[in-house]
Structure 1
């Protein structure tokens, strides 16, 4: 039986490519029992505003906690969600599909505001946004699936725990994944491509692919899933 799995750390309201990766597999694993990396995509992402690109950052406690895992990171300011929503609403209120998506995305943020761990927030947001993008992939957490030692060994273990036949990796991991180890475990190894996404009507100047997926949702609404379809060059 063919079953493709992807494994990736949770990010804060990630870009459309992250959701395309989820949509491209049968099972997706949030890989949050690994070390937290600062100034990364774990707790921040970009939206477009009338003044240009703007970072939305979830404030977290990391002073003196250099070894903490992603799923141990705590939020330091419980008012972050309300502040982020105000910025989002102000930036996208003139978007074609803001009225269609406002209530749904606002409700997702109201739920996220009640959570105290970054991993919980990220996983909640991603899980809740998937249906708005037409994605029904099963989502799992790595800490629920057991572990093995070693980068490649851990990923192979997670694939085997889910009965996978193939592993779909992000392109950046090609520098450390051991194809022979995956082959020895009976797993196919493929790499995701993020090339060929179509542009869509976007507010605030020059088109940018790399902003949060909420930009896509507010600009295209129920048609958003069509813009996750990559087109050959």
Structure 2
């Protein structure tokens, strides 16, 4: 059984969707420390003049706050900016806006308190649209874990009965496969390859990679996930 683990991301990018799509169970690492200025509360969308960064403001209490405890700062209407950026500036004329735009912007009708709930809502929208049905569980629901890094990931993987853990390439620098060996778990590297596709508002301009997954959805539609899957086996 292949498991993948990752922190929840706001408007997740294709690399995270690819990881979820390739595993039998996805563990949302919501009990670990919140990463400031990371992708847990922001991501890029594609505009005519380049990438636009959408950031969810969060309440700053301490540097050691866990993701599950992180709250959204709703003192100013950040949701209006995000909705308008998506609906008016970036994707209003996208081929699949009429079909999926309302589902995406509906996220901003609610005043979210916890960042993890907002992030998971934006993730679920694209998972549903692309037909990805991988079961998910939050690490905070699996019990107490005091280990760090490789030991933590190995413990969680063992807890859910995994035989293989799928890891992103960025973890090669710190992940210790020997730790997983002790738990009888094989480490498999994702090797994500980013597909290129038509971006309606970028005609004649350079393709913008690493945008939020809604960019692929709104430009190509649900069949866009096949481009991601095909890229796995490309030379």
Q: Normalising by the residue count of structure 2, what TM-score does the alignment of the two structures yield?
A: 0.91
**Which structure 1 residue ranges, 4+ long, deviate > 3 Å from structure 2?**
none
Q: Could you tell me how far apart the structure 2 residues matched to 1:165 and 1:10 are?
A: 23
Report the 3-state secondary structure (helix = DSSP H, G, I; strand = E; otherwise coil) of the residue aligned with 1:22: helix
> Matched residues in 2 for 1:118 and 1:194: separation?
26
CA distance in 2, matches of 1:31, 1:215: 25
Corresponding residue for 1:162?
160
User: What's the counterpart of residue 101 of structure 1?
Assistant: 100
Partner of 1:70: 67
Distance 2:85 2:176 in 1: 43
Shift of 1:52: 1.6
Aligned to 1:36: 34
Shift of 1:104: 2.1
Deviation of 1:82 (Å): 2.9
CA contact (8 A) 2:50 2:208 kept: no
Is 2:74–2:111's contact at 8 Å kept on the other side of the alignment? no
SS class of match (1:157): helix
SS at match of 1:55: strand
Q: Distance in 1 between matches of 2:215 and 2:148?
A: 37
Answering whether residue 7 of structure 2 is matched by residue 5 of structure 1, we say: no
1:126-163 Cα offsets, whole Å, 9 max, x none, are 12321111210001100111224232221112111211
Number of residue-to-residue matches in the alignment: 227
Asked if structure 2 preserves the Cα contact closer than 8 Å seen for 1:43 and 1:57, the reply is: yes
Unaligned runs of 5+ in 1: none
Which residue of structure 2 aligns with residue 213 of structure 1?
213
Q: For the residues of structure 2 that align with 1:115 and 1:37, how far apart are their CA atoms?
A: 19
- Cα distance per residue 1:190-228 (max 9 Å; x no partner): 111122x33111022311121111111110112222122
Among 195, 198, 202, the residue aligned to 2:195? 198
CA distance in 2 between partners of 1:187 and 1:123 (Å):
27
Q: 1: CA distance between counterparts of 2:157 and 2:108?
A: 31
Q: TM-score, normalised by structure 1?
A: 0.92
Q: Give the Cα separation in 1 of the matches to 2:47 and 2:188.
A: 36
2:126·2:217 contact (CA, 8 Å) conserved in 1?
no
Quick check: 1:176 aligned with 2:174? Answer: yes
**Is this contact kept in 2: 1:148–1:157, CA < 8 A?**
no
Task: Look up the match of 2:20.
Answer: 22
